[in-house]
Amino acid sequence: MHRLQDKVAVITGAGSGIGRAAAQLMSAQGASVVVADYDTQAAQETARLITTAGGNALPLTVNVLEEDSITAMIDATVEEYGALHVLCNHVGGTDPRTDLDLLRMDMDEFDRAVTLNMRSTLLGSRHAIPHMIRAGGGSIINTASVAALVGDVLQTAYGAVKAAVVSITKSTATQYGPKNIRCNTIAPGAVMTPALENNLPQEVIESLRAGNALPYLGSPEDIAHTMVFLASDESRYLTGQLLVVDGGMTMQSSAAPGRRAMLPA
């Protein structure tokens, strides 16, 4: 059964990692997918993987820091496919080298974080919603992070803007629910994306794994399957919610990993 048959989905940040996995899985479930990414070659490669597998994909180069680029992305989607049903506002992040603690955080990086994570989510939804209304409804899926839920020693801006994404989700769901538009947020924990593997020392990756309740870190597909569920009619009664997909990282006591050694063998 194709759970997304005849739906049109736009996914930002679909050139790699979670975004690419979501694009492939949504296509496999019958959706026509707009693969939007700042990296032109990465977007084209994701689209190639989809079309080779028999799916329908449109690669687009998009800079979500610029409203005109977001507008062009939505317009190109409707021009190509005639409708829009699903929007994944997935692009985000900050530079951990400059997004530090409160006293040492680069304020230019903070401003960039607001635009990249929060403003892009607002604008993506703002330009997509009128088309979703004309289509009879839709699903907006925002990507936050467990950083929105806990304190940390660095990436102060990242946690702040991802918390804002959670709030934006609730407002969007409240305001446009009567138009049959749902809006939910996913907060991933540590996921073995190329970005994580290439930028974190192995000992840090191991410490993240040790902090999970499950004995492994997530894969991009773990988050992407959640996106497919939120895009499908299976989640038709779910809106304004935060789905934490983190292997149990944030739900358990920080003492739990160490205390496991106290259990009898």
Block residue for tokens 């790699």: 16
Nearest to 221 by CA among 56, 17, 47, 44: 17
CA angle 168, 244, 234 (to 5 degrees): 85
Residue tagged active-site, from 158, 176, 216, 237: 158
Cα-atom radius of gyration of the chain, to the nearest Å? 18
Q: Are 141 and 186 in contact (CB under 8 A)?
A: yes
Fill in the amino acid letter for 222: D
Side-chain half-sphere CA neighbours of 239 within 13 A = 20
Residues in the chain, how many?
265
Residue 11: strand pairing partners: 35, 88
Residue 185 carries which side chain, given as an amino acid letter? Answer: T
Q: What is the distance between the alpha carbons of residues 88 and 82, in angstroms, rounded to a whole number?
A: 18
**Whether residue 176 lies in the annotated active site:** no
CB contact at 8 A, 30 and 231 = no
Residue carrying structure tokens 């979703």: 132
Q: Which residues does the annotation mark as catalytic?
A: 158
